[in-house]
Amino acid sequence: MNESMKKIKFVVNPISGTQSKELVLSLLDEKIDKAKYTWEVVYTERAGHAVEIAAKAVEEKTDIVVAIGGDGTINEIARALVHTDTALGIIPCGSGNGLARHLHIPMEPKKALEVLNEGCMDIIDYGKINGTAFFCTCGVGFDAFVSLKFAHAGKRGLLTYLEKTLQESLKYQPETYELETEDGISKYKAFLIACGNASQYGNNAYIA
């Protein structure tokens, strides 16, 4: 193997989104630049597994770990890559794909793989809440409540998300929150409080 070739680990979340991951995987041999990259594919088996896979990839000095999934998969992988020499790549296959849309990564797998071939890298910010890093959006209140319901819905996709949002909005009761800033402590009764490292939740639902 040519020592100058970069190693990629593709991490597939088989249950994210509604799109077939097999279709994406079938494109790898056709689309990946074999003069630049060698690669392997690993499937996640449970929540949190992508963190372990990405951490091992860092130990093995893998150059790029690519998430084939949605924002949840990306968050897990990226947590293990913060402040390392291993880069994050994204082939969007989630229900909302908020971070990928924010970063202008194409939603079509063929085009996303072409972006990967170009090898352009950039540095992005991340946020932390309760010691846990996040990369797209993070919130408390209604949006977090809907995300929890969506996670346990059994079905993925935009329609399920909209259904849960409409169902829960009719009965959700706003709570009171204390916010501490450099100017002091303030109390708010809020439907939700959201922090955006990206401009949207996903599906082009912009919040920032």
- Under the banding of pLDDT at 50, 70 and 90, the label for residue 144 is confident
Q: Which two tokens stand for residue 29?
A: 């041999």
Report yes or no on 172 lying in a domain. yes
Of 89, 123, 157, the residue that ends a domain is 123
Domain of residue 52, residue span: 6-123
Q: Is 125 in contact with 99 (CB distance < 8 Å)?
A: no
Residues 75, 160 within the same domain: no
Q: Residue 138 pLDDT > 70, yes or no? A: yes
Q: Judge residue 51's burial from the number of C-beta atoms within 10 Å of its C-beta, 0-12 exposed, 13-18 middle, 19 or more buried.
A: middle
What is the pLDDT averaged over residues 163-187?
86
- State yes or no: pLDDT of 147 exceeds 70: yes
How far is residue 51's CA from residue 139's CA, in Å, rounded to a whole number?
21
Specify the higher pLDDT residue, 146 or 82.
82
Co-location of 61 and 111 in the same domain = yes
**Which domain CATH number covers 18?**
3.40.50.10330
Q: Are 63 and 138 in the same domain?
A: no
What proportion of the chain, given as a percentage, has pLDDT over 90? 62
Rg (CA), the chain: 18
Instruction: Identify residue 70 by its one-letter amino acid code.
Output: G
SS3 148: helix
How many angstroms separate the CA atoms of 78 and 96, rounded? Answer: 17
pLDDT in tens, 66-111: 999 999 999 999 999 999 999 999 999 988 899 999 999 999 999 9
Q: Which residue has the higher pLDDT, 38 or 162?
A: 38
Given a cut of 80, whether residue 160 has pLDDT beyond it is no
pLDDT exceeds cutoff 90 at 40: yes
Say yes or no to pLDDT of 150 above 70: no
Dihedral sign for Cα 93, 167, 76, 141, please: positive
**Class of residue 22 by CB neighbours under 10 A (exposed 0-12, middle 13-18, buried 19+):** exposed
With respect to residue 203, please indicate whether it lies within any of the assigned structural domains: no
Instruction: Give whole-number Cα distances, 190 to 92, 112, 163, in Å.
Output: 32, 38, 22
Integer CA distances (angstroms), 65 to 12, 16, 28, 148, in order: 11, 17, 14, 27
Q: What are phi and psi of 117, to 5 degrees?
A: -60, -35
Predicted local distance difference test score (pLDDT) of residue 154: 61
Question: Is 144 inside a domain boundary?
Answer: yes
Does residue 150 sit in the same domain as residue 177?
A: yes
pLDDT of residue 108: 93
* CA–CA distance, 18 with 157 (Å, rounded to integer): 6
Q: What is the pLDDT of residue 156?
A: 62
Q: Is residue 1 part of a domain?
A: no
